[in-house]
Structure 1
Amino acid sequence: MSRGFVKEEDQEEIPMVPPRADLPIGATNYVTENGLLKLLNEREKLIGDKELSHQDNEKEQRIAINLINSKLQLLSERITSAKVIHLEDQPKNEVRFGAQVSLLIGNAKSPQEFQIVGVDEANISENKISFLSPIARALISKKVNDVATLQIGKEDRLFKIVGVRYDK
């Protein structure tokens, strides 16, 4: 039947699914083992939510399930494309993917610590930065006592590496 003959109130809304963290076309989806585990746990939670989804009316039920299915599809694409980097295989004296890096930023007296992780793991409140971020790109391949420079606006910000380690 043509959509022209369907009552407006009977038409279902297409659920708006928030996009996942940006991963540029052609970029490898690197993840830590913990990052992959988080993605798999997120998928299990969504599957559980789908099974437990009980709405009062059929239309709301379909919309809720469509939303979960859309999120699952995006998540499955990320899981399928994930390339796990095993931290024990990383060079211990060099900043690479998965590194916990202690930095003196500018003239700071005490270091701050960040971990370089995948785009889905990145969370600045947990001091986890994406490997695609400008700061991570400036730090990659550096060693302890090296200084990375990042231009922020018209100012150069200096990041002195005071420690590198790889924790699971």
Structure 2
Amino acid sequence: MAQRDYITRAGWQALADELDYLWREKRPFVVGKLADAAAEGDRSENAEYIYRKKELREIDRRVRYLSRRVDELTVVDTIPDDPDRVFFGAWIDVVDDEDESHRYRIVGSDETNAGSGAISLNSPVARALIGKRRGDSVHVTLPGGEQDYEIEAVYYQPPDT
């Protein structure tokens, strides 16, 4: 059986919004610019024409990908029966070995963002945290070495920053 790809409602909406933007605004704009460049004559030496063709191919590639992807993803937007345990979509505050605090959110692979703490459900940290609750400690093997975390808090609504 194939593994399901999960995504939060906000993550799915961001992909759907990108698809809509590319299809309704960006692509028609580029097609118009391409037509203008084509009207200028010799296409073989027309940098604008060559650039717009490349840009259009990239947009079409992304539109094809997003069109398939938004249909394949399983949106998870419910709070689990036990909101004190870590499951998909949770924000988790942890403290590491050096007493530094970190906030992670377990999300699908399409919406990971290291800068905001959004980590993939399949990452080592997320796999270690799934099913645990506040006060639990977890040991994680990371590419940079071993790390221990203690879970301080679990949220299913965006926590105050």
Name the CA distance, whole Å, in 2 between partners of 1:152 and 1:30.
23
Q: What TM-score, normalized by structure 2, do the two folds share?
A: 0.80
Match of 2:69 in 1: 78
1:156 paired with 2:136, answer no
Match of 2:83 in 1: 92
Name the CA distance, whole Å, in 1 between partners of 2:107 and 2:82.
16
1:64 paired with 2:55, answer yes
Alignment of 1:1-168 (within 5 A): 26-47=2-23, 48-53=25-30, 54-55=33-34, 56-58=36-38, 59-60=49-50, 61-89=52-80, 91-108=82-99, 110-152=100-142, 155-167=145-157
Q: Once superposed, which parts of structure 1, at least 4 consecutive aligned residues long, lie more than 6 Å away?
A: none
Distance 1:49 1:92, change over 3 A: same
In structure 1, runs of 5+ residues without a counterpart are: 1-24
Aligned-pair Cα RMSD in Å: 2.1
Q: Percent identity?
A: 25
| Alpha-carbon shift at residue 126 of structure 1 (Å) | 1.0
Q: Larger % of helix: which?
A: 2
Name the CA distance, whole Å, in 2 between partners of 1:102 and 1:143.
11
Q: What TM-score, normalized by structure 1, do the two folds share?
A: 0.77
Name the CA distance, whole Å, in 1 between partners of 2:29 and 2:123.
38
In structure 2, runs of 5+ residues without a counterpart are: 39-48
Name the CA distance, whole Å, in 2 between partners of 1:85 and 1:91.
15
Match of 1:14 in 2: none
> Which deviates more from structure 2 when the two are superposed, residues 151-160 or residues 131-140?
151-160
| Alpha-carbon shift at residue 95 of structure 1 (Å) | 0.4
CA offsets per residue over residues 49-74 of structure 1, 9 Å max, x none? 10111135335344332221111111
